[in-house]
Amino acid sequence: MSLYLINVLANSIYICKNNGHSVLEYLLFRYAKKKLSCKQLIVVCIKLAGNIDENTQLYKFLSIWINIHNIKIVRQLLYYDYDT
């Protein structure tokens, strides 16, 4: 997986944490743990521990998108088949 996807996952988890979407935060982190290697997961945790810049276009887009579509994302991640 590319560094861009890792950045998107880290930003998404951070947005969920700040906006109180705890179920979505848990599901995104579970997705990351299943799909990313150990090294990539460490990079996600380092990004979460550090300061994520809230002034980037990616952060603003993801924030709006998650706030509008959080129920759809939760539903999709609940029924996602992690074994494939």
Q: What is the pLDDT of residues 18-70, one digit of tens each?
A: 999 999 999 999 999 988 899 999 999 999 998 788 999 999 999 999 999 99
Is the pTM here over 0.85, yes or no?
yes
Q: How many domains does the chain divide into?
A: 1
Is residue 83 included in any domain, yes or no?
Answer: no
Is residue 84 included in any domain, yes or no?
Answer: no
Sign (positive or negative) of CA dihedral 24, 73, 32, 80: positive
Q: What domain range is 45 assigned to?
A: 3-78
Residue 4 token pair: 């861009």
Is residue 63 included in any domain, yes or no?
Answer: yes
CA distance 2 to 25: 21
Is residue 22 included in any domain, yes or no?
Answer: yes
Is residue 8 included in any domain, yes or no?
Answer: yes
